[in-house]
Structures are given as C-alpha cells and as structure tokens.
Amino acid sequence: MPDDPMPLDRHDRAILDILAGEGRIPVAELARRIGLSKTPTLARMRRLEKAGIITGYRAML
C-alpha cells in the first residue's frame, strides 16, 4: 500500500471487499453488485491498481 493513501469512497471499498473474496469475478457482475456501469467500475479498478492498493489477482490455495 502506498505511503500517502488515496481516499476511498463506498464504491472503492465495495470493489475491494468483493474482489477480496472473488478475485476472478467478471467486471460486469462486479459493476452490477456495486451499482455502477462497467466503464466506471473498470476505471476505478485501474486507479486502485495504479495507486498500489490492488497489487494482483490470484488464487490462494
């Protein structure tokens, strides 16, 4: 996580919460669950990745 954390709104937190449990969820389903369309959901995911908050998508066995 970065030294100077970016502010997270309820949509960002919802994205992180859902991805923590379901890292391979399709963007369309994620968008539906958080109440946004695909384009802004994907933009938020990319912003979270660029900020170092999302560092990858992987299965932990």
Q: Rounded to the nearest 10 degrees, how much is the dihedral formed by the CA atoms of 16, 18, 22, 23?
A: -20
CA distance 47 to 59: 22
Q: Which domains does the chain have, with CATH numbers?
A: 10-50 (1.10.10.10)
Q: How confident is the model at residue 19 (pLDDT cuts 50, 70, 90)?
A: very high
Query: Which residue type sits at 37?
Result: S
* Cβ–Cβ under 8 Å, residues 54 and 36: no
| The pLDDT value given to residue 7 | 92
Q: Which two tokens stand for residue 7?
A: 């502010």
Query: What pLDDT does residue 59 have?
Result: 74
- Single pTM value for the model: 0.86
Q: What is the pLDDT of residue 9?
A: 97
